[in-house]
Amino acid sequence: MRRITIEGLTSSGTELLALRDLLSRGGVAAIPTETFYGLAADPHDEEAVRRIVGAKGRDDARAMPVLFSRPADLAGLGVTAPEQSLAPYFRIWPAALTVVVAIREPVAASRGACTLAIRIPASAPLRRVLEFTGPLTATSANRSGQPPMDDPEAVERLFEGSIDLLVDGGRTPGGLPSTILDSTEDPPRVLRPGAFAWPGK
């Protein structure tokens, strides 16, 4: 497993190009978010998603959340929600609020579902990475059923040999994971309370 600091990555066009190339070839990286470390891959790449499932020891078909940086990214993910219905979330983002939206057809990260959980992260360095790579999966970097991880040393020990790159952002803030909101229901329903206080919840 290669290791690079988030500062070293975001300040180097060469390193950003190398990351984009790695992910385009089915690579998997651990990345720091505003809460915990996540496992990042191309959300359209079935083999990369299978690698993440294997690394986490999962035996379920749960979908993986996807991080993105700008509204234009949503077309490539097949999001079908009209722009005006997503406007309230764009007024909130970037934030630790993950929103489930309908998509035209399943992608690898949705694991067969026609819905996808999406978020613009509050971490500015991570948004810089996403501007370069495009959307990435961000399922928590941990073994299935275990707590999410905020320590890059622990992430490296756990995933040595099963992922390709650790982007070291030091200890992440930890705390609560992102709030998950299902926008396909009316009114939207909180599926998981978390770091973002959805109004009235």
Domains of the chain by residue range: 2-192
Tokens 């909101």 sit at which residue? 181
Q: What dotted CATH number matches 2-192?
A: 3.90.870.10
Torsion of CA 66, 100, 60, 121, to 10 degrees: 30
Please report how many Cα atoms fall inside a 13 Å half-sphere around the Cα of residue 47, on the Cβ side. 5
The pTM (predicted TM-score) of the whole model is 0.95
Given a contact cutoff of 8 angstroms between Cβ atoms, the answer to whether 70 and 121 are in contact is no
- Residue 31 structure tokens: 């990345």
pLDDT band at 199 (very low <50, low <70, confident <90, very high): confident
DSSP-H helix ranges across the chain: 6-10, 13-24, 46-56, 73-77, 83-92, 124-133, 152-159
* Whole-number pLDDT of residue 109: 98
- Summarize pLDDT for 97-137 with one digit per residue, the tens: 999 999 999 999 999 999 999 999 999 999 999 999 999 99
The phi-psi region of residue 175 (left if phi > 0; otherwise alpha if psi is between -120 and 50; otherwise beta) is left
d(CA 12, CA 129): 11
What is the structure's pLDDT at 201? 47
